[in-house]
Amino acid sequence: MSNNLIIVESPAKSRTIGKYLGKDFTVKASMGHIIDLPVKEFGIDIDNGFAPKYVTMKGKAKIITELKKAAAKADTIYLAPDPDREGEAIAWHIADIVSKVNPTAVVHRILLNEITKNAVKAAIATPLKIDLNKVNAQQARRILDRIVGYKISPFLWKALYRGLSAGRVQSVALRLICEREAERDAFNKEEYWTLEVNVRKADGRPFTVKLFKLDSKDPDLKNEPATDAVIEAVKGKEWKITDVSYKTKRRNPLPPFITSTIQQEAARRLHFSASKTMSLAQQLYEGLDLGESTVGLITYMRTDSTRVSNDAKVAASKYIEDTYGKKYLPETFKEYKKNENAQDAHEAIRPTNIDKAFEPEKLKGYLSKDQYRLYDLVWRRFLASQMVPAEFDLTTAEIEIGNVTFRAAGSVMKFDGFMSVYGQEEPQNKQDTDNETPDDDSTILLPELIKGETITPDNFDKEQHFTQPPPRYSEATLVKELEKQGIGRPSTYAQIIDTLKKREYVELEQRRFTPSLLGKTINGLLVKEFPDIFDVSFTANMEDHLDKVESGEDDWIELLKQFYEPLKKDLKQAQEKARELKKSLEEESGEICVRCGQKMVVKWGRNGRFLACSAYPACKSTKPLEEDLHDASGPAPDMHCRLCNAQMIVKRWKKSRFMGCSRYPDCKGVMPYPVGVKCPEENCTGYIAERYSQRGKIFFSCSEYPKCKFASWSKPVNKACDNCDSQIMLEMSTKAKGNFLRCIKCKAETLREQEEVD
């Protein structure tokens, strides 16, 4: 019988560790938290020093019983939840339980930055005590969040409707999204023009120059006449190269991943949500079955440090030298600048084994598709971070004609360096990358240019542009902004974003966040009534105070007092005018109640906005709001109701559209919305219609479902294939190929841009 007990959080981690340690150790899983604040009551005694009331979580009684049985038989108990504040709190609660069952057992805390045999044995050999400062920092965070959730959410219920939630950090993230949308709404676009000239050398070799300076200043061409004036000023003049310069530019590798950057890069390159990235990273960390053994493939994924152990650096150096050659190794190990806000508790995210046997391609058969993609990203990013910079030979040539200067610039890669492993991918937006990319014109290969040689302009290419509003946040850029502003901590970003989406406070359009009307309304109320609590800098400062609690500098009870006193005053004032605020959110509709003849007003309810009689409660008449259920585009040609044969019209309900009978409410016939394409299945008389999955994602299927099972995530369009007799193609889009069409029959592809030009 084993007399050593190890308690971890997940069954996957327990299986991995159990295989490492053998029969002398029993490994049990707590399945995450087992003790927490009660769900159906506030659970905080504010008057008694914010004393929390902890209870057994629903469904965890059986797990606690198993842990008690195992603890009663053990001489030594090792608590190994995740090495962060939350894990420390879990360990603290478990320690309290097992110590009561077996007071003579020795209880240790062990930290596992990676789940490998050597790391587990090393942790057991150097056990620690539970860090009460960490526990108190987590308690403070949990209580702060409970106070906001249980005290401010009821205010939203009174002002809008029951069921809404306000979160201490999530509401500040919502504020960022709403403020960005307000910036876009207030943005006034301005016209500007650019000028390029296609020129050629005396031997006929062509290249392109761009307008670079006008009167020794950056050009500011506001309109076409100003652009034409520049063209006229240089036409007919002698064009000579007045200066040619050569230099070598180095592009440095990025640091290894931390929690925020792995979320950003996985969103940018793999199109993963933050929650999906963290879930996959957790699986890679806890351990996966590789046939003969179970191994944790990456280090702990909740970290804000780019620090790497010397052992990992040595292993990476050996692998790089063996695989790529010595010229790819720097003279000394790479060190990256520490973020001033970083706690630096754990290493950067990296592979646990830098060895040919653990190359992503060799493990592909043991991993799911997405596990492999994320592991491959971590692998390449880490190796690249330990390699030398890439080098480019840059050539710049200038042509001065009076007060006008044109410039040509181009580059050739001299040495690929780290880019041999982690090649540059074009970001969707400049804000989607945290590494500087070369200017567009520096990627052009130029012919040999000589100072003083004459060139000939062939044609002038002027182009009109308009300034663009600041882009909406993507998951990657929102994570980046949260980190920049110090809002929350990287380990909480995925949960913040998930909450905003699940609550429908935001919507995703082309992977960009827009605040919903509900989100805008909630944000307006919270910012107006609680200006301090939901202030960006206030929330960031609170994170700093929590860090100080963890380091032992601040007292957690005192921190809660400082937070609660101003909130208490704001809350009292807000509660007093909640009904007044609810009334102020009502809008005139212009409609008359059919029951009593009074005006109808727009109100908020659990299912969104609706029309209600202004005479409520005397009259309780309600009806759907016409902007949620409205005629979208007039009569639909050749579509008649299957119930009464009346004309069908396009209607909307929330985000979806459908065909509704024009005789509604007398007839309630509905049909799915057509996309103008007949079903491609043989002998089927149906049409392709828009439909929505349970998660709200649009797909396309036959109107005759379930008779016809045709379905596609890509939209079918009426377009003849050049390769076969099919008359239908699918609209597709990938990051690598952009927009293109794929034949539904032979799978031949046509670039969408080319098809549109044709």
- Show the tokens assigned to 605: 């309810």
Count of CB atoms situated within 10 Å of the CB of 72:
12
- Whether 443 shows a pLDDT value over 60: the answer reads no
User: Are 33 and 105 within 8 A, CB to CB?
Assistant: no
Give me the residue label for tokens 């340690």.
Answer: 21
Band of pLDDT at residue 752, cut at 50, 70 and 90: low
Q: What is the pLDDT of residue 426?
A: 43
Q: pLDDT > 70: what percent of the chain?
A: 92
Distance CA(150)–CA(454), nearest Å, equals 76
Burial of residue 493 (number of CB atoms within 10 Å: 0-12, 13-18, 19+): buried
Band of pLDDT at residue 637, cut at 50, 70 and 90: low
Across-strand partners of 194?
A: 463
Dihedral Cα 672, 509, 696, 525, nearest 10 deg: -120
Band of pLDDT at residue 130, cut at 50, 70 and 90: very high
User: Are 523 and 152 within 8 A, CB to CB?
Assistant: no
Q: Is 300 a catalytic residue?
A: yes
Q: What is the pLDDT of residue 356?
A: 94
pLDDT digits (tens, 9 = 90+) for 356-376: 999 999 999 999 999 999 999
Give me the residue label for tokens 């792995």.
Answer: 262
Residues 6+ apart with CB under 8 A from 354: 312, 315, 316, 318, 319, 382, 383
Distance CA(482)–CA(176), nearest Å, equals 9
Q: What is the pLDDT of residue 53?
A: 95
Give me the residue label for tokens 């539970």.
Answer: 130
Q: What letter represents residue 204's amino acid?
A: G
- For range 636-649, the mean pLDDT: 79
Band of pLDDT at residue 693, cut at 50, 70 and 90: confident
Q: What is the pLDDT of residue 438?
A: 39
Task: Output phi, psi for 484, to 5 deg.
Answer: -60, -40
DSSP 8-state symbol, 207: E
pLDDT digits (tens, 9 = 90+) for 390-432: 999 999 999 999 999 999 999 888 899 999 999 764 443 443 4
pLDDT digits (tens, 9 = 90+) for 255-293: 999 999 999 999 999 999 898 999 999 999 988 988 878
Of the candidates 436, 369, 447, which has an alpha carbon nearest to the alpha carbon of residue 408?
447
Give me the residue label for tokens 């790479």.
Answer: 334
Q: Provide DSSP, 56-123.
A: EPTT-HHHHHHHHHHHHT-SEEEE---SSHHHHHHHHHHHHHHHHH-TTSEEEE---SS-SHHHHHHH
User: Are 242 and 404 within 8 A, CB to CB?
Assistant: no
Q: What is the pLDDT of residue 437?
A: 38
3-state secondary structure 609-634: EEEEECCCCCCCCEEECCCCCCEEEE
Q: What is the pLDDT of residue 293?
A: 81
Q: What letter represents residue 71's amino acid?
A: A
- Show the tokens assigned to 2: 């084993």
Residues 6+ apart with CB under 8 A from 158: 575, 578, 579, 582
- Whether 632 shows a pLDDT value over 60: the answer reads no
Q: What is the pLDDT of residue 754?
A: 33
Q: What is the pLDDT of residue 436?
A: 35
pLDDT digits (tens, 9 = 90+) for 16-50: 898 888 888 999 999 889 999 998 899 999 999 99
The single residue of 20, 78, 285, 300 carrying the catalytic annotation is 300
pLDDT digits (tens, 9 = 90+) for 149-202: 899 999 999 888 888 888 889 999 999 999 999 999 999 999 999 999 999 999
How far does Cα 518 stand from its chain's mean position? 21
Burial of residue 190 (number of CB atoms within 10 Å: 0-12, 13-18, 19+): exposed
Angle subtended at Cα 190 by Cα 185 and Cα 191, rounded to the nearest 5 degrees: 140
Q: What is the pLDDT of residue 653?
A: 67
Positive or negative torsion for Cα 372, 376, 382, 383: positive
Q: With H, G, I as helix, E, B as strand and everything else as coil, classify residue 645.
A: coil
- Whether 480 shows a pLDDT value over 60: the answer reads yes
Residues 6+ apart with CB under 8 A from 149: 165, 166, 167, 168
pTM over 0.85: no
55-56 and 76-79: which strand pairing? unpaired
Angle subtended at Cα 224 by Cα 223 and Cα 225, rounded to the nearest 5 degrees: 95
Q: What is the pLDDT of residue 642?
A: 85
Distance CA(477)–CA(430), nearest Å, equals 10
- Whether 240 shows a pLDDT value over 70: the answer reads yes
pLDDT digits (tens, 9 = 90+) for 509-518: 888 999 999 9
Across-strand partners of 245?
A: 396
Q: What is the pLDDT of residue 432?
A: 43
Q: What is the pLDDT of residue 649?
A: 82
Q: What is the pLDDT of residue 626?
A: 60
Distance CA(162)–CA(157), nearest Å, equals 4
Q: pLDDT > 90: what percent of the chain?
A: 55
User: Are 117 and 294 within 8 A, CB to CB?
Assistant: no
- Show the tokens assigned to 134: 């960490």
Of the candidates 308, 291, 418, 406, which has an alpha carbon nearest to the alpha carbon of residue 358?
291
